[in-house]
Amino acid sequence: MAHVSDFLKPSDLQRISNLQVLARQVVEGFTSGLHRSPHKGYSVEFKQHRQYVPGDEIRRLDWRVFARSDRYFIREYEEETNLRSTIILDRSGSMNYAGSAAGGVTKYEYATKLAACLAYMMVHQADGVGLTTFDTRIRRHIPPRSKVSHLRVILDELEKGEPGGETDLGDVFHDLEAKLHRRGLLIIISDCFGEVANFIKALAHFRHARHEILVFQIWDRDELEFPFKSWTQFDCLEQAGVKHLLDPAMLRQSYLENLATFRESLIRGCRRHNIDLVPFCTDEPYANGLAAYMTRRLGRR
């Protein structure tokens, strides 16, 4: 049985315990929570007055207004709901890369910790959290729940998984959309490798379904800086047998340029669809990055 402490250090937990994952846009949920709900109903927080139209429930008429103005107004309240978030974790081969700067921590390990952390935060703010792992296709889909015991299910899944296979975000997301019935927060933890256009298209799909999307992009320092010097054979983690023997120093500049282009197009695509793209590097403590992001996000609400 996996426990939160298997994934998260007490210091990290302390660091994030004060944080809340807040949806920036309205989410649909059942219980009252921190998040705005599109469903208007009985609630404490007044939202607006609206002129009565035939068909409205009589009980929702604001009689005080009627008494004052002799006109019918409907009183509308903002309904608070719980957040249904789904963590979509990339379990493709490329996530298995462990650079020297990260001290042997693979991107996947880093990603699981990040996922665990998020799940923990969600559960603790009484929001529902689900987990979907995928590589070429969806490996496991745990629908969102807000019970504390549900956290264990997620942690078990996180512990079990072993990355492998290729990434194809486009198809996976297409399949996944069918499984997400209600709009909510989608947290994608991936290195986002693959065709940028496909990826953005898939994200656009989610956005169309009115999901809010957060992309936590996991990088290794080696991937960002390409620090190799001597002759190196690069074996592909996703496709067996694909290997290149080369002098990395000769290619570094071109690689970095290519990388910059890739990141730039990714950032541009995300911004276009109002998606937060948050890069994480495995040699930095995830809690720091997460905390910084959450604080920033809260400020923007």
Partner 1 sequence: MNFLNMAMLGGVLAGSIPLIIHLFHKSRFKVVKWGAMHLLTAVLRTNQRRLKIEQWILLAIRCAIPVILALMMARPMWQGAASLLGNRPTSTAVLLDNSYSMEAGRAGTSNFSLARDETQRLVGELKRGSEAYVFLLGEGAGLLDESTRDISRVTQALDKVGSGYGVARVPAGLEFVAGVVGKMTEGTRQVVMLTDFQRLSFPASEDKAFGQAIGRLKQLPVPPTITLWDVGAEVQENIAVESLDFSKLMVGVGQKVQIRANIRNYGETARNDFRVKLKVDGRDKATSQVLLGAKAQSQVLFTQVFDTAGSHVVEIEIEDDAVKADNSYLASIAVRDKLPVLLVDGAPGATPDDLKSETGFAQIALSPFAAGKVEQADLIQATVVPAEALTAKNITDAVVVVLANVAKLGDEPLKALEPFVRQGGGLLVFPGDRTDPAWWNGAFGNLAPLPLGPLAGDLKEGAPTMGLTSQRFDNPALEIFNDPQNGTLSDVAIKAWYRLKPSEHSGGPEDPIILARLDSGDPFLVEKPCGEGHVIACATTLDAEWSNLPARPSYLPLIQRLCVYLASNIYPPRNLRIGEQLVGFLPVASAGKNAVLTLPDTSTVEVPVVKKGERGVVEYPQTRHPGLYTLLPPGGTPIHYVVNAERSESDLAKLSASEIKSLAKTHGLQLVHSAAEFKALDKIQRYGHELWKWALLALLVLLFGELILQQKFARGRGKS
Give the interface with partner 1 as residue ranges (CB under 8 A).
Answer: 93-97, 107, 191, 193-194, 220, 223, 228, 230-239, 242, 244-247, 249-255, 257-259, 262
Q: Is the dihedral of CA 7, 12, 17, 21 positive or negative?
A: negative
Closest CB to partner 1 among 3 and 268?
A: 268
Please report how close the Cβ of residue 223 comes to partner 1 at its closest, in angstroms: 5
Please report how close the Cβ of residue 10 comes to partner 1 at its closest, in angstroms: 31
- Cβ contact 144:84 at 8 Å: yes
How would you classify residue 278: left for phi > 0, otherwise alpha for psi between -120 and 50, otherwise beta? beta
Closest CB to partner 1 among 82 and 282?
A: 282
Please report how close the Cβ of residue 157 comes to partner 1 at its closest, in angstroms: 22
Phi, psi angles (nearest 5°) of residue 101: -65, -30
3-class state of residue 268 by DSSP: helix
Distance between CA atoms of 131 and 115, rounded to whole angstroms?
9
Please report how close the Cβ of residue 92 comes to partner 1 at its closest, in angstroms: 9
Closest CB to partner 1 among 122 and 200?
A: 200
Closest CB to partner 1 among 33 and 93?
A: 93
Please report how close the Cβ of residue 93 comes to partner 1 at its closest, in angstroms: 7
Please report how close the Cβ of residue 118 comes to partner 1 at its closest, in angstroms: 22
Closest CB to partner 1 among 48 and 239?
A: 239
Q: Measured in whole angstroms, how far is the alpha carbon of residue 231 from the centre of its chain?
A: 38
Distance between CA atoms of 293 and 21, rounded to whole angstroms?
10
Distance between CA atoms of 204 and 208, rounded to whole angstroms?
6
Closest CB to partner 1 among 72 and 228?
A: 228
H/E element, 221? helix 221-225
